[in-house]
Amino acid sequence: MIDDPTQRFTDRADNYARYRPGYPPEVLECLRQECGLTPATVVADIGSGTGILTRLFLENGNPVFTVEPNAAMRKAAESVLSHYPGFTSVDGRAEVTTLDECSIDLVTAGQAFHWFDARASRLEFSRILRPGGFVALVWNARDYQGDPAMAAYEQVLSDYGMGYHDVNHRSHAGDLDTLFGDNRQFRSFTHQRQLDFDTFWGGFLSASYAPLPGHPHYEPIQRALRMVFEKYQRDGQITFLYQTHLYFGQLSN
């Protein structure tokens, strides 16, 4: 068992970069309307991993500081994003970003805030944000309500445990209150992907709770997910549904 959450993805960086979904453009549009996002907005993407959320802002023209404590994840991001002129890679963490005081307009985190110490990161975000700055937290949540394929996938994860529910962002509402207080706003956007089995399986393996090869659950879960895929695939692909959850606002006082 890995006690340090920053090291959970060391053996998963390749799968994470190759198979995790991106974020829909509605995220940027909401931030433009609600948080005044422009290409001049200086962004700190915290727990940036392989840079999936980072890319959205870089393509918008933003200068982005990617703060990531895991060397393997940081290297994966640098290999694909370093050609963007606004990209700056930082070895840091949510609680100690190493960024300058009052240097950031927008703090973001994609699939990451549930790993942070909420109180310590709130203090750090307050330190690095300029007056009037915003925080935006994003998760791609599987949409398993009412869809039999998604429900079957979810059931396999529940059957095998592996700490899946412990890292589900839906269970961290108290941390969101610590960060935002009454200032929190929420938006949800629907999107989907068509996945072949390699992408379907690779996406699962990118999760922190997924067993690695050699673990006694590795092959049974692979068989169970193969059965789900074969049952619901059409022309070699399965439809994967997401709700992108966006929480944003200014920090609590």
Low-confidence ranges of the chain (pLDDT < 70): 1-12, 161-172
Whole-angstrom Cα distance, residue 125 to residue 119?
10
Instruction: Provide the whole-model pTM.
Output: 0.89
Report yes or no: 40 and 130 within 8 Å, Cβ to Cβ.
no
Q: Which CATH architecture has domain 5-141+166-191+243-249?
A: 3-Layer(aba) Sandwich (3.40)
Nearest-CA neighbor of 76 among 206, 210, 241?
A: 206
| Per-residue confidence (pLDDT) for residue 5, from 0 to 100 | 54
| Per-residue confidence (pLDDT) for residue 166, from 0 to 100 | 54
Distances in whole angstroms, Cα of residue 25 to Cα of each of 22, 204, 227? 9, 24, 33
Give per-residue pLDDT as tens, 172-202: 677 999 999 889 999 999 999 999 999 999 9
| Per-residue confidence (pLDDT) for residue 1, from 0 to 100 | 35
> Which structure tokens are listed for 200?
């379907």
Whole-angstrom Cα distance, residue 223 to residue 217?
10
| Per-residue confidence (pLDDT) for residue 2, from 0 to 100 | 42
Distance of alpha carbon 202 from the chain centroid: 16
Find the radius of gyration of the CA atoms of the chain. Answer: 18
| Per-residue confidence (pLDDT) for residue 162, from 0 to 100 | 62
